[in-house]
């Protein structure tokens, strides 16, 4: 099956968590909005699906995935759908629920990282909420990020199958997503990560392990992997680099 991924064409964003899963599995997919650079049709196609009144299961916002006649939205929900189809979850249902739970916790972490630069309203520019962003970033890097990393480091440490992956003895989409988070916070908060990272050797090793996987390594070197930038979820502002 050819999958169609709909997301904004100029950022990694939340769509990157889905791209990593598709790339790791070698899936047949098209990044629809990015086709706009070549044909002018990608963005209109995405916006048209968002605005169609007769879609039975309409998405609220991108990312969303078209698989045959199905349209699936929300990052964690898309990965829950793709996981068994791409071989990125264990076979048994309790383990699949565990991976989904990990992904939802990662989503919480991503939301809090985003809110460091938009703590008041997403409709406001960063420049309109700088004092609040500074307070939020200080709390995130000083308290919240370590709390999340403590949790995920412990998950790796207590995995009955060893500390290589978050769940079971093979990579899941949660491992790919944790790689993306680690890369994102390294970009956004290099000073904080320089302080914190030595306390999380298992997470750092997981990041490197995912980056070295053959399909992921090829993807990271390709033009399909956009650079992080300050329109993205993870942003680097000098004043927030605490």
**pTM given for the model:** 0.94
Average pLDDT over residues 133-140: 97
Cα 211 to Cα 218: distance, rounded to the nearest angstrom: 9
Q: What pLDDT sits at residue 58?
A: 83
Average pLDDT over residues 142-171: 98
For residue 137, report the phi and psi dihedrals to the nearest 5 degrees.
-65, -40
Give the tens place of pLDDT for each residue, 79-103: 999 999 999 999 999 999 999 999 9
Structure tokens at 25: 């599995």
Cα 60 to Cα 209: distance, rounded to the nearest angstrom: 34
Cα 204 to Cα 211: distance, rounded to the nearest angstrom: 11
Contact residues for 206 (Cβ-Cβ < 8 A; gap 6+): 156, 164, 165, 166, 175, 178, 179, 182
pLDDT band, residue 56 (cuts 50/70/90): confident
Average pLDDT over residues 144-163: 98
Average pLDDT over residues 46-59: 70
pLDDT band, residue 40 (cuts 50/70/90): very low
Residue 70: helix, strand or coil by DSSP?
strand
Name the strands in the sheet holding 3-6, side by side, starting at the edge strand that comes first in the sequence. 29-31, 3-6, 64-67, 70-73
Mean pLDDT taken over the chain: 93
Looking at residue 4, what DSSP letter applies? E
Give the max Cα distance, the chain.
52
Give the tens place of pLDDT for each residue, 113-130: 999 999 999 999 999 999
Greater model confidence, 42 or 187: 187
Q: Count the alpha carbons within 13 Å of 71 in the hemisphere toward its beta carbon.
A: 16
pLDDT band, residue 39 (cuts 50/70/90): very low
218 in Cβ contact with 211 (< 8 Å):
no
End-to-end CA distance of the chain: 46
Domains annotated for the chain, with CATH where assigned, are: 3-86 (3.40.30.10), 93-213 (1.20.1050.10)
Average pLDDT over residues 9-31: 96
Long-range Cβ contact pairs of 49-52 (< 8 A, separation 24 or more): 49/6
């Amino acid at each position: 099956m050819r999958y169609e991924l709909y997301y904004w064409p100029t950022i990694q964003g939340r769509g990157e968590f889905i791209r990593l899963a598709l790339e790791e599995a070698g899936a047949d997919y098209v990044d629809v909005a990015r086709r706009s650079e070549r044909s002018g049709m990608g963005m209109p196609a995405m916006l048209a699906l968002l605005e169609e009144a007769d879609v039975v299961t309409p998405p609220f916002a991108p990312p969303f995935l078209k698989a045959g006649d199905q349209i699936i939205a929300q990052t964690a929900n898309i990965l829950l759908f793709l996981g068994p189809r791409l071989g990125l979850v264990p076979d048994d249902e309790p383990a699949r629920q565990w991976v989904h739970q990990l992904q939802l916790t990662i989503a919480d972490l991503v939301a809090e990282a985003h809110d460091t630069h938009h703590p008041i309203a997403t409709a406001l520019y960063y420049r309109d909420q700088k004092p609040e962003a500074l307070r939020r970033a200080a709390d995130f890097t000083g308290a919240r990020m370590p709390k999340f990393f403590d949790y995920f480091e412990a998950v790796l440490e207590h995995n009955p199958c060893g500390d290589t992956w978050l769940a079971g003895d093979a990579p899941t989409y949660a491992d790919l997503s944790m790689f993306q988070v680690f890369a994102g916070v390294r970009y956004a908060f290099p000073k904080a990560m320089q302080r914190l990272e030595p306390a999380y050797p298992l997470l750092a090793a997981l990041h490197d392990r995912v980056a070295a996987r053959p399909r992921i390594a090829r993807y990271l070197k390709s033009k399909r992997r956009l650079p992080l930038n300050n329109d993205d979820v993870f942003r680097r502002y000098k004043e927030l680099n605490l």
